[in-house]
Amino acid sequence: MPVDTGSALAADDLPRLLNINEVAEVLGVNVRHVRRLVFEHRIPYLKWGRLLRFDPREIERWLRASCEQHQERSAPAAG
């Protein structure tokens, strides 16, 4: 019996989720810092039971948004 995959995501469409060690390495920080960001809900993450996983696309968006916010705050006021 064929499976209807018209609205379902194929495995190829899904990103490979990162674990906390991989995110720490990408960000250049230690695991403890990433855990603090998760605890403070300052970084996008997924949680299944005790497992923490991170979508690399969401991490990239989060980094870009953080950079943009920093640039806006440090830009001189127009006037």
Q: 28 lies in which domain range?
A: 16-74
Q: What is the CATH number of the domain that holds 59?
A: 1.10.10
Question: Over its length of 79 residues, how does the chain's per-residue pLDDT go in tens digits?
Answer: 555 555 666 777 788 999 999 999 999 999 999 999 999 999 999 999 999 999 999 999 999 998 887 677 777 765 5
Q: Where are the beta strands (DSSP E) in 1-79?
A: 46-48, 51-53
Q: Is residue 8 part of a domain?
A: no
Residue 1 covered by a domain:
no
pLDDT digits (tens, 9 = 90+) for 36-58: 999 999 999 999 999 999 999 99
Kindly report the pTM of this predicted structure: 0.72
Helices 56-74, 20-27: crossing angle, 10 deg rounding: 30
- In a domain, residue 30? The reply is yes
Contact in structure between 65 and 73 (CB atoms under 8 Å): no
Report how far apart, in Å, the C-alpha atoms of 63 and of each of 51, 66, 67, 69, 76 are.
Answer: 22, 5, 6, 10, 22
The first and second tokens of residue 25, run together, are: 């390495």
Q: What's the domain count of the chain?
A: 1
